[in-house]
Each structure stands twice: as C-alpha cells, then as structure tokens.
C-alpha cells in the first residue's frame, strides 16, 4: 500500500490566546515516530488525536488539559479542516505508521486563568510529558517556529484566528 492510500489521523489543535492576544506554544521534547522535530523548530501549539466516537471540541478540551493542565478557557471559534502529511519515515513500526498524516480541526480558546495554571511537567493521560518549556508568542510568528511539514497548516490557522491575536480591552 502506498503512503497516499493511508488515511489521515483525526486530530484537534488548540490556539490558546491570553489577554494580551498572544498564543501558547510549547517546546517538544522528542520525536514521536514520523512526527519528527528539527533543531530550532521544536515549538508547537497543543494538539492531539481524537478518540473513536469523540467530538472534536471535546478532544480539544481533553488534549489541552492533558498536555498543559489548563481548564480555564472560553471557546472562541474553530477552523475548517486542514491536513498535513508526515515526512518519510523509515524507523521501526509506530502507532502513526498506519497514517499518511493528520487531518485537523483547530479551536481558538481564550485563557481565563493565571499562568500558574499551566503545567507541562506532567501529562494528564499518564504518558510521559511531551514538552520541556512553554511561552506566549505572537500568532503570526508561530509558523516559523514549527517543523516545516506543519507550516502551511499553522499559516492557515494564523490567518483564520488573527482577530483573536489582539489584546483584550
């Protein structure tokens, strides 16, 4: 079977905006099969797989909580569907090896809590933590900080969520 015949993995991404209009990004600790990281491009917004029969918005809330411990959010908007292909992968069999890439729906959320709520040192799912650091960043800069195979998706997300990337009055 050719890679192009493989399905996309369902995935939910979260653009979490603070009161200053900046978005939360986190620095990945390691590769995850075909989900490679490259030096200087380890940053990303929270995202994760959608479980069978799980609503994409509920998956977004769950992934945000698992990866960052954040629960103090207000829903703002969601995107149309985006997809990206994984780069070629020749490693050992991996849970993502059965997918071509990821098909994503992104959700904009406003963080209503305090920064002390953000904790990437544990993963709420029981898996090892995915991230080593986090920070607030301008939305229009994030695409240049992610791995190249995700950049088009991040540019589209930035374009659609630009109205939220401004300080609150």
> What count of residues does the chain have?
169
Predicted confidence (pLDDT) per residue in 44-72, tens digit: 999 999 999 999 999 999 999 999 999 99
| pTM, to two decimals | 0.92
Q: What are phi and psi of 151, to 5 degrees?
A: -60, -45
Coil, helix or strand at residue 35 = strand
The pLDDT-based confidence of 90 (bands split at 50, 70, 90) is confident
Class of domain 3-163: alpha beta
Q: What are the strands, taking DSSP E only, across the chain?
A: 8-17, 23-28, 43-44, 47-49, 73-85, 101-111, 131-137
Q: What whole-number distance in Å separates Cα of residue 153 and Cα of residue 169?
A: 29
């Amino acid at each position: 079977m050719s890679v192009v015949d493989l399905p996309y993995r369902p995935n939910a991404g979260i653009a979490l905006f603070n009161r200053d209009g900046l978005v939360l990004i986190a620095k990945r600790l390691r590769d995850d099969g075909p989900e490679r990281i490259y030096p200087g491009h380890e940053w990303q917004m929270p995202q994760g797989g959608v479980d069978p029969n799980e609503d994409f918005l509920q998956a977004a809330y769950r992934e945000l909580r698992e990866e960052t411990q954040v629960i103090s959010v207000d829903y703002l908007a969601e995107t149309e569907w985006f997809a990206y292909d994984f780069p070629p992968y020749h490693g050992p069999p991996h849970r993502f090896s059965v997918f071509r890439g990821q098909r994503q729906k992104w959700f904009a959320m406003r963080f209503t809590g305090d920064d002390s709520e953000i904790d990437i040192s544990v993963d709420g799912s029981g898996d090892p933590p995915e991230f080593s650091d986090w920070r607030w960043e301008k939305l229009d800069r994030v695409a240049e900080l992610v791995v190249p195979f995700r950049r088009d998706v991040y540019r589209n997300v930035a374009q659609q969520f630009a109205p939220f990337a401004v300080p609150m009055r």
